[in-house]
């Protein structure tokens, strides 16, 4: 074999070996995935599921807003309940952005600030709330959405700094409950089996449930957390598509009812 | 921190108010966000950056898997960055059945990225792998955007 041909053959071999070595596997064996390899479950922003829903043409967002009752939020709840409520109010802010409702966004910004103050993390959200209030006036929806995300992250980071990781988890849980309620409500307004798949989230529900039960029992005491426990238990088997790839209308009704129970108990407490 | 990175971190901070502290504390995130900016600033239908980000360390050839709930119809970019410019890593997305579903993916120096158009709603797997580790471990950061 000539020298040039040898080099050509060698470079071809190397190219194929490298691509074979570096190419990702086409299939993950999920049954053999070591548990310690799996780092985290990402809890999505309410905005992510809302966008998906938007593309399906479900746009009656006003119907899912908390509304004027935001003005009457109680600030005498436990820290755990307040964290849950804060997550719920932020999620309501994302609904308000979808609805392009300046007044609701304004109320949301004010309440996020009040609740953050109760939790001792006001300073971290103040700049974000100021932008939310200003952007609501100017109908700068992208800015409001960005600052809601930042406000929630700042609250969670501050809580972690204060070693209140559990409270940070409750903020996420509160947001997820409100988001799930809004999505179930919209899907039910004109039920279409194909669209129901958007609430297929068994692993996420299991993760949130495991996280919740890992919290100290004294943090999750009281009527509101009783509703949360009941809700998580009922929701787990329902937030999963059936063999036809859909969630039945009757299941959606229960999902909406259970999440509404939690939202209502938070608003009343 | 390398001079280039100081400049880029400040640029990022100006573009993304409130992110300075984070940008300064994790070089991997700075590289990843620098890579993400064109997608976040494109005129038509830009991606929305999630503020929260994830980080950790990988040993040589090490992998991390992050489970992530994605929603049908949404389009996601995942960006990962290594803290050391000479380190190399990859990122790929697998659907709830474990099938590779990258719509696009690439590696460029110390960053890697993958895009997925979610066809079904469910728990996806973001797999980050160290390909070249110059020190004992590779520091990585991951962020994502959606639209």
Q: Once rounded to an integer, what is the mean pLDDT over residues A102-117?
A: 94
In contact, A162 and A17? CB cutoff 8 Å = no
Query: In this complex, do B122 and A201 lie within 8 Å of one another by their Cβ atoms?
Result: yes
Give the span between the Cα atoms of B117 and B120, in whole angstroms: 9
In contact, B28 and B139? CB cutoff 8 Å = yes
Share of residues in chain A with pLDDT > 70 (%): 91
Identify the top-confidence range among A54-58, A73-77, A106-110: A106-110
Which residue in B has a C-alpha nearest to residue A29's C-alpha? B98
Mean pLDDT of chain B: 86
Closest-CA distance of chain B to residue A153, Å: 6
Closest-CA distance of chain A to residue B100, Å: 5
Half-sphere exposure of A65 (CA within 13 A, CB side): 26
| Residues of chain A numbered 62-121 and touching chain B (CB < 8 Å) | none
Mean pLDDT of chain A: 88
Helix (H, G, I), strand (E, B) or coil at B115: strand
Closest-CA distance of chain B to residue A222, Å: 30
Choose the weakest-confidence range: A163-167, A199-203, B22-26, B60-64. B22-26
For residue A8, the tally of other CB atoms under 10 A from its CB is: 12
Give me the count of residues in chain A.
Answer: 269
Give the span between the Cα atoms of A91 and A108, in whole angstroms: 9
For residue B31, the tally of other CB atoms under 10 A from its CB is: 25
pLDDT recorded at residue A164: 87
Which residue in B has a C-alpha nearest to residue A206's C-alpha? B123
- Which residue in B17, B41, B71 has the most chain A C-beta atoms within 10 A of its own C-beta, making it the best mutation to test that interface? B71
Band (pLDDT 50/70/90 cuts) for residue A119 is very high
Q: Give residue for tokens 């999620």.
A: A91
DSSP class per residue in chain A? --HHHHHHHHHHHHHHHHHHHHSPPSB--GGG--GGGEEEEEPPPHHHHHHHHHHTT---GGGG--GGGGGG--S-S-HHHHHHHHHHHHHHHHHHHHHT-HHHHHHHHHHHHHHHHHTT-HHHHHHHHHHHHHHHHHT-HHHHHHHHHHHHHHHHHHHHHTT-HHHHHHHHHHHHHHHHHHHHHHHHHT--GGGGGGG--HHHHHHHHHHHHTS-GGGG-SHHHHHHHHHHHHHHHHSS--TTS---HHHHHHHHHHHHHHHHHHHH-
Helix (H, G, I), strand (E, B) or coil at B117: strand
Closest-CA distance of chain A to residue B99, Å: 5
Q: Is B100 on the interface with A (CB under 8 A)?
A: yes
Closest-CA distance of chain B to residue A69, Å: 29
- Which residue in A195, A200, A206, A246 has the most chain B C-beta atoms within 10 A of its own C-beta, making it the best mutation to test that interface? A200
Beta bridge pairs of residue B137? none
Query: In this complex, do A37 and B64 lie within 8 Å of one another by their Cβ atoms?
Result: yes
Q: Is A199 left (phi over 0), alpha (psi -120 to 50) or beta?
A: alpha
Give the span between the Cα atoms of B57 and A213, in whole angstroms: 28
Query: In this complex, do B69 and A55 lie within 8 Å of one another by their Cβ atoms?
Result: no
Q: Is A26 on the interface with B (CB under 8 A)?
A: yes
Give the span between the Cα atoms of A221 and A218, in whole angstroms: 5
pLDDT recorded at residue B16: 40
Give the span between the Cα atoms of B65 and B38, in whole angstroms: 26
Per-residue pLDDT tens digits for A183-228 = 999 999 999 999 999 999 999 999 999 999 999 999 999 999 999 9
pLDDT recorded at residue A57: 84
Beta bridge pairs of residue A159? none
Residue B22 has pLDDT above 80, yes or no: no
| Residue B16 DSSP class | S
Q: Is A33 on the interface with B (CB under 8 A)?
A: yes
Query: In this complex, do B71 and A198 lie within 8 Å of one another by their Cβ atoms?
Result: yes
Q: Is A145 on the interface with B (CB under 8 A)?
A: yes
Give the span between the Cα atoms of A14 and A17, in whole angstroms: 5
| Residues of chain A numbered 204-233 and touching chain B (CB < 8 Å) | 204, 207
pLDDT recorded at residue A39: 64
- Which residue in B67, B117, B144 has the most chain A C-beta atoms within 10 A of its own C-beta, making it the best mutation to test that interface? B67
Per-residue pLDDT tens digits for A221-257 = 999 999 999 999 999 999 999 999 999 999 999 999 9
Nearest CB among A52, A145, A146 relative to B72 is that of A52
Nearest CB among B69, B72, B122 relative to A42 is that of B69
Q: Model's pTM, two decimal places?
A: 0.84
Q: Is B103 on the interface with A (CB under 8 A)?
A: no
Q: What are phi and psi of B69, to 5 degrees?
A: -75, 115
Residue B21 is inside which H or E element, if any?
helix B20-25
Q: Which pair of structure tokens corresponds to residue B106?
A: 């690439």
Annotate B40-79 with b (16+ C-beta within 10 A) or e (fewer).
beeeeeebbbbbbbbbbebeeebbbbbbbbbbbbbbbbbb
Looking at per-residue pLDDT, the higher value among A128 and B14 belongs to A128
Residues 6+ positions from A66 with CB-CB distance below 8 Å: A89, A92, A104, A263, A267
Q: Report the C-alpha dihedral over residues A120, A121, A125, A127, rounded to 10 degrees.
A: 80
DSSP class per residue in B32-99? HHHHHHHHHH-SSSPPEEPS--EEEEE-TT-EEEEEEEE-TT-EEEEEEEESSTT-EEEEEEE-TTSB
């Amino acid at each position: 074999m000539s020298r040039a041909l040898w080099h050509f053959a060698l470079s071809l071999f190397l190219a194929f070996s490298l691509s074979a070595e570096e190419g990702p596997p086409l299939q993950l064996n999920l049954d053999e995935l070591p548990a310690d390899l799996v780092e985290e479950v990402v809890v999505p922003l309410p905005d992510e599921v809302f966008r998906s829903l938007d593309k399906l043409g479900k746009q009656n967002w006003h119907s899912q807003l908390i509304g004027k009752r935001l003005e009457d939020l109680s600030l005498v709840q436990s820290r755990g309940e307040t964290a849950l409520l804060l997550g719920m109010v932020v999620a309501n802010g994302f609904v308000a952005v979808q609805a392009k409702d300046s007044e609701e966004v304004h109320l949301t910004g004010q309440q996020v600030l009040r609740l953050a103050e109760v939790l001792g993390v006001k300073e971290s959200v103040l700049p974000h709330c100021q932008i939310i209030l200003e952007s609501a006036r100017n109908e700068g929806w992208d800015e409001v959405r960005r600052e809601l995300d930042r406000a929630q992250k700042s609250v969670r980071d501050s809580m972690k700094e204060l070693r209140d990781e559990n409270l940070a988890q409750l903020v996420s849980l509160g947001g997820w409950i409100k988001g799930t309620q809004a999505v179930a409500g919209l899907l039910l307004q004109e039920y279409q089996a194909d669209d129901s798949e958007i609430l297929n989230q068994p692993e996420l529900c299991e993760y949130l449930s495991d996280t919740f039960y890992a919290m100290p029992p004294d943090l999750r005491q009281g009527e509101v957390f009783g509703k949360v426990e009941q809700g998580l238990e009922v929701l787990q088997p329902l937030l999963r598509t059936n063999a036809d790839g859909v969630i039945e209308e009757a299941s959606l009704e229960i999902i909406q009812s259970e999440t509404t129970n939690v939202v209502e108990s938070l608003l009343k407490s | 921190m390398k001079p280039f990175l100081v400049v880029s971190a400040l640029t990022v901070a100006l573009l993304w108010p409130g992110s300075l502290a984070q940008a300064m504390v994790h070089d991997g995130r700075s590289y990843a966000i620098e890579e993400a900016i064109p997608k976040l600033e494109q005129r038509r239908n830009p991606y929305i950056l999630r503020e929260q980000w994830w980080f950790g360390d990988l040993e040589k050839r090490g992998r991390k898997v992050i489970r992530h709930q994605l929603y049908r119809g949404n389009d996601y970019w995942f960006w990962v960055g290594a803290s050391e410019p000479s380190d190399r890593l990859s990122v790929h997305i697998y659907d709830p059945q474990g099938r590779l579903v990258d719509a696009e993916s690439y590696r460029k120096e110390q960053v890697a990225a993958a895009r997925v158009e979610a066809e079904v709603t469910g728990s996806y797997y973001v797999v980050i792998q160290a390909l070249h580790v110059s020190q004992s471990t590779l520091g990585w950061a991951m962020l994502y955007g959606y639209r």
